[in-house]
Chain A
Amino acid sequence: MLEPGPQELYYFMGNESLPITDTLIVSWILLILLVLVSRWITSNMSLKPGKAQNIAELIVSTIEDQIEDMLPGEGRNLLPFIATIFVYIGFSNLVVLLPGVPSPSTDLNLTLGLAAVVFMVSHYYGMKEKGILGYAKGFAEPVIFMLPINVVSELAKPISHSFRLFGNMVGASIILGLIYMAAPWMIPVPLHAWFDLFVGVIQAFIYGMIAIVYISVAKD
Chain B
Amino acid sequence: MVEFSTEVVNTIVSAAALLGAGFAMIAGIGPGIGQGFAAGKAVESVARDPEARGNIITTMLLGQAVAESTGIYSLVIALYLIFVVFGV
Which residues A104-146 have CB closer than 8 A to chain B? none
Check B69 against A160 for contact (C-beta < 8 Å): yes
Which residues A178-220 have CB closer than 8 A to chain B? 202, 205-206, 209-210, 213
Where chain B touches its partner, the secondary structure class is helix
Check B83 against A168 for contact (C-beta < 8 Å): no
Check B62 against A163 for contact (C-beta < 8 Å): no
A-B contact count (CB 8 A): 43
B73 beta carbon closer than 8 Å to chain A: yes
Check B65 against A163 for contact (C-beta < 8 Å): no
Check B62 against A206 for contact (C-beta < 8 Å): yes
Check A66 against B58 for contact (C-beta < 8 Å): yes
Interface residues on chain A, size class: 20 to 34
Look across to chain A and name the residue whose beta carbon is closest to the beta carbon of B71. Answer: A167
Look across to chain A and name the residue whose beta carbon is closest to the beta carbon of B83. Answer: A3
Check B72 against A168 for contact (C-beta < 8 Å): yes
Check A209 against B83 for contact (C-beta < 8 Å): no
Look across to chain B and name the residue whose beta carbon is closest to the beta carbon of A165. Answer: B72
A166 beta carbon closer than 8 Å to chain B: yes
